A and B are shown apart, each in its own frame.
Chain A
C-alpha cells in the first residue's frame, strides 16, 4: 500500500520538474511576432533552423559515428517535420507540364507518331564557312561513326 504523503511527493516532483523547465529549456516555439520584431522583416523557418545543431551542446560522445550518432543524438521530432518537394532544388523557374501523358502514355506526343528535323548543329554551320577538301557528306558520316566507338582505352593501329 502506497502512503498518501508519498503520492503527494510524486505530484510535487512532477510539478517542480515541469515548472523548472522554464529557466532554460524551451518547450514551445518562440512567438512569430517576436521573431519578426527582432529581425525587422519576415523570416522563414529555415532562417533559424537550417543550421541548427540538434545534438546536445556539450555532450558529443559518439555523435560523429554515422550510426551511433543518429541513434543517440538525432531528435525524434525532427525526423518528419522537415522535408522538401523534389522540384525545390531546381528553383522556381522550371515549368511543369500538365495535361499530357508521360509515364504511361502511347509513346508519342499529342500529334501522334512523328518527328521533326533536329536543330542544325552549330559546328556544321561553321564548317560550311571554312574551306575543306573533303566532302560534307563524307565528313558527317565519319563523325557519326566515331561516336559509336571506344576512344580512351581502345587499341589503335599506328599509321595514317
Chain B
C-alpha cells in the first residue's frame, strides 16, 4: 500500500486555496509575491539625475542624456567618457501568517558606461553616443517561516488538511543591461531632436524553495515535503526611444521622451526537484526539467520634463513619467487570479513625479543636488498601504578641468499588505551611485 502511495501523484495545496473567504489580493498559496514581475521600476542610471530626484529629461547636459533624453545630447560640446557603480540595499521585513520575517540584500553593480562624441559644427549641434546601462535588477531575497494549513493526499483520493510548519525561501539574481546607440542634432536654434535604439540583454535566475514539515504528526504517511524550483533564463529585447527638447526661453526648456514597447524574450529552463520524506520509507526525490521561451511585452512609456534656470548657477527640474502597466502582456494580459469578474488587471498605470534642484557654488567647482521622487507600485496583487517614494541627495565635483565625479544617494520606502492571509511587508530601499566622467 505504501508503494502505491509512492507511485500515486501527490497533490499538496495550501488550505487557503480551498478556504473561504479569499483575500482581495492575489494569493496562490504562498506569501511570497511570486506573481509579481520585477520590471515595473526601471533603474535610473545617472548619478546627476538621481541626485535631483530622478529628473533629467529637460536638464540632462552630459552623456547620461543617452538614457534620459537623447535630444539633450545636442547640448554637449566636448567628448565624454564616463562610467559608474551603483550599490543598492533592500531591507524587507514584515509579518506572514502571524510570524515575523525579514531579509537584507545588498548588491553592487556596474551601473553605466558611456561615450559621447560631438561632431565639430559651425552652427547647431550633432552628437552621437553609446552606452551600456543597467536598466533592471532582479536581485531579491525573501524568506518567511510560518505555520499554516496544508492539504495533502494521504492516500488515493483521500485528502487531509492540517497545520504544518512551512518555510518559503526565494532568491533571485540577475539584471538587464541596455546597450544603446543614440544621436541628437539641433533642428533649429531652440529645438533639439534625438533618437536611440537599445538592445537589452541579461539573465534571470530564481530559486524558490518551499518546505513543509508535519511537526504536529498529522500525517501517517509523510514527515516532510520540499519543492525546489530553479529557473534560469537569458533575456533579450529591443526598444527605440525618441526625444525632443525645446528652449522656450533662455531660462526654461521643455523635454519629451517616448519609449516604444519592448518584448523581452526569456529563454531558459526550469528545474523542479521534489523531495518527499515518508515515515516508513524515508526520503524519495524526483525532478523534472522544462525548457521554455517566454515573451514579456512592456508597454509605451511617455515622459515629459521641464528645466528652469532662474540664474546661471541654479537649476530646477521636474519630470513626469507615465506608463500604463496594465497593457503589459505575458502570454496575454495579466489579470488578478482571485478577482470575481476575472477582468481586473494585475498591474495598473503609474505616473512617476520627479522633482530636483541643483545649486552651483560660485567660487567652488562643486554642485549640490537634492530631490524627491514618487514611484507608485504598479502591481495590484497586494494592497499598497504606503506608496513608494524617495528622497535623494547628490553632489558633483570638478576635480580638474576635464575630470568630474558625481555621487548620489537615494532612500525610499513603501508598505504593502494582504489582509486575507495576515501579510504585511515593509521595504526600505537605499541606493548609492558613483560616477566619473572624463571630457576630452
Contacts and interface: CB of A to CB of B under 8 A. Distances in A.
Contacts of B256: none
Interface string B193-225: 101010100000000000000000000000000
Contacts of B183: 13-14, 17
B398 A71 contact: yes
Contacts of B195: 13, 16-17
A23 B123 CA distance: 11
B181 A61 contact: no
A57 B188 CA distance: 10
B392 interface: no
B332 to A, nearest CB: 22
A68 B312 CA distance: 11
Contacts of A56: 75, 77, 125
By size class, the interface of chain A is 35 or more
B402 A71 contact: yes
A6 B78 contact: no
Contacts of B360: 62, 65, 68
A59 B184 CA distance: 15
B124 to A, nearest CB: 3
A75 B120 contact: yes
Nearest to B79: A76
Contacts of A25: 121, 123-126, 185-187
Given A17-B195, A27-B120, A68 B367 contact: yes
A65 B187 CA distance: 27
A96 interface: no
A14 B187 CA distance: 15
Contacts of A71: 78, 398, 401-402, 404, 439
B250 A2 contact: no
A24 B193 CA distance: 12
B354 to A, nearest CB: 18
A76 B360 CA distance: 23
A21 B197 contact: no
B384 interface: no
B394 interface: no
B291 interface: no
Given A26-B124, A58-B253, 11 more contacts: A2-B238, A3-B238, A17-B126, A24-B188, A57-B189, A58-B247, A65-B312, A68-B367, A73-B77, A75-B77, A75-B118
